[in-house]
Amino acid sequence: MKNLIRKISRVLGIKAEKKSIDSIHESLVKLDTPFRNLLLSLYQEAPQKGLDNQLHQLDGETKISIEQGLWLYEFCISKKPASTLEIGMAYGYSTLFFLAAAAKNHKGQHTAIDPFQKTHWKGIGLSLAMECTPKMEGKAIFQLIEDYSDRTASDIIRRGHKFDIVFIDGNHRFDDVLVDFYLYAQVCTVGGWIILDDMWMPSIKTVVNFIRSNRKDFIELPTNISNIAVFRKVGDDTRKWDEFSAFPVAK
pLDDT confidence of residue 137: 73
pLDDT tens digits, one per residue of 56-100: 999 999 999 999 999 999 999 999 999 999 999 999 999 999 999
Element holding 236 (H helix, E strand):
none
Residue 85 · residue 165 · CB < 8 Å = yes
pLDDT confidence of residue 15: 45
Least confident of 10-19, 50-59, 99-108: 10-19
Average pLDDT, the chain: 91
Q: Is residue 5's pLDDT more than 50? A: no
Model pTM score: 0.90
pLDDT confidence of residue 198: 97
The CA distance from 248 to 165, in Å, is 26
pLDDT confidence of residue 16: 44
Residue 218 · residue 231 · CB < 8 Å = yes
Return the percentage of the chain with pLDDT > 90, whole number. 86
Rounded mean pLDDT, 210-237: 97
Phi, psi of 4 (to 5 degrees): -60, -40
Could you give the C-alpha distances from 223 to 19, 191, 216, 227, 230, in angstroms and in order? 21, 17, 19, 10, 8
Contact partners, residue 242, CB within 8 Å, separation at least 6 = none
* Bridge pairing between strands 218-221 and 188-197: unpaired
pLDDT tens digits, one per residue of 15-29: 444 444 557 888 899
pLDDT confidence of residue 22: 58
Q: What fold characterizes domain 2-233? A: Rossmann fold (3.40.50)
Taking alpha carbons only, the member of 109, 116, 185 closest to residue 140 is 109
